[in-house]
Amino acid sequence: MEDLRNRVAFVTGGASGIGLAIARAFLQEGMRVALADRDVPELDRQVTGLGDAALAVPLDVTDRGAWVAAKGTVERAFGPVDVLVNNAGIGPDGRPLADMAPGSFDRLVGIKLTGTFNGVHTFAGGMRDRGSGWIVNTASMAGLTASARLGAYTAAMFGVVGMSEVLAAELAPHGVGVSVLCPGLVETRLRATTLAAGNDVIDGPAGAARRGIPASVVGDLVVAGIRAGRRHIVTHGEYRSRVAERMATVVAAFDDVPHRSQDGRPEQRVPEPPTEPAG
């Protein structure tokens, strides 16, 4: 999707951080943007300064009835949605999975993973019927690599990556593109939004935290990723080796496992003959 001017976007988690940065980048491209968030006072404050092409839409992404109402609001104001950004989410609580409260697990997965599905359920069918559109699902670098004390967060993010890849395969024949955004550390209000959603946050050791990149950088990368038709949009090149190491470990698990026939017995595979040199 190279031409974004006059397109309509719907961005969740739009009151701050990555969502707000993506919305601003879209507005700079001449799009009309509905920014959705459960923090209505902050959402209204931010949208007030964005001009007539921006619309504030109150939304709790876990509330499917609210999604129906939000769809009606944006369509009455701007028309059908061309670009959906499922960005809303909360952060990890820092506990080992064995010690995590079930309610905290359910809340994180419900907002990030099920909330993303709710957006897809609301808007993807219309894009498919019109034969055009783009969906960006925000995951995390934690959707490509696994680290201790990020259990529910990693589970949700791996889920968003997998959901996005399935969605891409299903919608590509209908002219609809899908990207999954996997950022590293970014300057956001994730801690505050996590606490506001009702989950605790355990701080790491003093001095362990490092500053993230500006969210505006991510907004620009999303615009570029949509234009280039990227399936995966990443923000931090230094994670390449960690992702490659994980992928290599998965592939290596196949090294001594034979191909199987339908009855489960190993197949005898005949090596291909060497290619004759040309000449």
pLDDT truncated to tens, each residue of the chain (279 aa)?
778 999 999 999 999 999 999 999 999 999 999 999 999 999 999 999 999 999 999 999 999 999 999 999 999 999 999 999 999 998 888 889 999 999 999 999 999 999 999 999 999 999 999 999 999 999 999 999 998 988 899 999 999 999 999 999 999 999 999 999 999 988 876 767 766 666 666 654 333 445 789 999 999 999 999 999 999 999 999 999 999 999 999 999 999 999 988 777 887 665 666 666 554
Query: Which amino acid does the sequence have at 223?
Result: V
| Residue 178 phi, psi (nearest 5) | -135, 135
Give me the pLDDT at residue 208, please: 40
* Confidence at residue 266, expressed as pLDDT on a 0 to 100 scale: 81
Buried b (16+ CB within 10 A) or exposed e, 250-271: eeeeeeeeeeeeeeeeeeeeee
Residue 190's alpha-carbon distances to 91, 146, 201, in angstroms, are: 6, 19, 10
Catalytic residue among 26, 67, 134, 153: 153
The pLDDT of residue 199:
66
Active site residue 239: no
Angle at 142 between CA 139 and CA 144, to 5 degrees: 85
At residue 198, the pLDDT reads 63
**Alpha-carbon span 24 to 237, nearest angstrom:** 24
